[in-house]
Amino acid sequence: MSKLWTNKTASDSKLEQKIHAFLAAKDIELDKELICFDIEASQAHANALASIGVLKGDENSKIQQSLNGLLQKIKDKQFELTDKFEDCHSAIEFYLINELGDLGKKIHTGRSRNDQVLVATRLYSKQKIIQLIELNKNIASTLLAKAQEYQFTAMPGYTHLQQAVVSSWGMWFAAFAESFIDNIDYAKKILHWIDANPLGTAAGYGVNLPLNRDLTTQQLGFSRLQINPIYAQNSRGKFELSVLSCFKQSMLDARKFAWDLSLFSMTELDFIKQSDVFTTGSSIMPNKRNPDVVELIRASYAKIQAAYQEVENLLSLPTGYHRDLQFSKRPLIEGISEALSCLDLLPELINDLTVNQEQAEQQITPDMYKTDLSIEYALKGVPFREAYLEIKNNTMDLSGYTPDKSIQNRTSPGACANLMLDELEKRLLDN
């Protein structure tokens, strides 16, 4: 268990081992997600060092080659990050020293693990937000297809879980489609917000070298520089929160959608059917199919929320790097991975849904047309409040109303007869 920061040979006493394990915590496991980004950033750093003459002649190309080799070995599973290293940063440096001898020892000139972990985490986060955007797109487009399929299919609209007015399945599906389209927009804004290069800020105070930070910004594909080294360190955790917030937005929608499905598939309502693949049987009750997938999607929100809170709670710190910040990695990486695997199920789950049209329509009671009738009175000149009270207090003949007619009369933008699915489709494609 050698360390980068000492030339003492590790004695590996019991206590040292215990402390090593405590300090590394789950870093080795988590750094498996970061190591390739760390290598990419190390390559950019070496190029930047060469550009200011710190690496000479063919030194940089040897480092580049060696790092490419390491990337390939990771892909081919010939290199494994194990707990003989402190973290992925030291593993990369040990690898270079092992391959290139003294030249490998030059890689860390002008950088610190503090800016190394920042840049690797940032590149990782950007990639994950891009994956989230793609998933949001798939989900939104599946929802739009369902909205089209059930555009004019009636369902009861509820407020307070009490019957309210006529609604449509088209409107319900389109509601979630619009929400997921907005999530794309939100994620893109956060993607831009975190797209700033922290590499070259070292331990949080810069170094006595004219580091070519513009070169690393451009090579790593960042849209701007994170200028101030203290700010770069202080943004650790703060940026992670914004990344997690994108995942929270989508998971909030997933939770509400799952809640609706669980309600709509309740035996007495029976509005929605799912195929057997999305439900499970009971070990004791032969009569049952249970919507377990939907329920675990609903429950998954708790995990992303917990991850968010865990990071937030770590941030009660003064300026600069503190080892506390290492603990922001686990909630970030695990929160994201759980959210992605949950959201990944949604397109197929949505696609699989069938609406029990007859049953949903049957639950629309005549009372639900009373709002329509009040408005019709108002159109004939009766002040709305008077119309409302008259209809509320008297028995009315509502036999001429049907769900279809009620839907067709709702023509304002967004309402049942005018869901503006084309506009939603356009927003999705423009995103």
Q: Which residue has the tokens 């215990």?
A: 18
**Residue 167: φ, ψ to 5°:** -135, -170
* Least CB distance to ligand ARG at residue 368 (A): 57
* Least CB distance to ligand ARG at residue 25 (A): 9
Q: Does 115 bind ligand ARG (CB under 6 A)?
A: no
Tell me whether residue 27 or residue 33 sits nearer to ligand ARG (CB atom): 27
Among left, alpha and beta (phi > 0; psi -120 to 50; other), residue 154 is beta
Q: Does 246 bind ligand ARG (CB under 6 A)?
A: no
* Least CB distance to ligand ARG at residue 320 (A): 10
- Which of 60, 90, 114, 201 touches ligand ARG by CB under 6 A? 114
Q: 156: which strand partners?
A: 166
Piece of 138-146, 247-255, 285-293, 319-327 that binds ligand ARG (CB under 6 A): 319-327
Distance set, CA 27 to CA 111, 124, 129, 199, 243 (Å): 20, 15, 22, 20, 20
Q: How far apart are CA 386 and CA 394, in angstroms?
A: 12
Q: Does 6 bind ligand ARG (CB under 6 A)?
A: no
Q: Does 323 bind ligand ARG (CB under 6 A)?
A: yes
Q: Which of residues 190-229 bind ligand ARG (CB under 6 A)?
A: none
Distance set, CA 172 to CA 141, 201, 319, 340, 430 (Å): 14, 49, 47, 24, 23
Tell me whether residue 110 or residue 291 sits nearer to ligand ARG (CB atom): 110
**CA atoms within 13 Å, Cβ hemisphere of 125:** 34
- Which of 34, 36, 50, 117 touches ligand ARG by CB under 6 A? 117
* Least CB distance to ligand ARG at residue 105 (A): 18
**Count residues contacting ligand ARG (CB under 6 A)?**
10
Q: Does 113 bind ligand ARG (CB under 6 A)?
A: yes
Please check whether residue 266 is in contact with residue 273, taking contact to mean a CB–CB distance below 8 angstroms: no
Please check whether residue 239 is in contact with residue 125, taking contact to mean a CB–CB distance below 8 angstroms: yes
Q: How far apart are CA 262 and CA 157, in angstroms?
A: 16
Tell me whether residue 271 or residue 321 sits nearer to ligand ARG (CB atom): 321
Give the footprint of ligand ARG on this chain (CB under 6 A). 27, 87, 113-114, 117, 321, 323, 325-326, 329
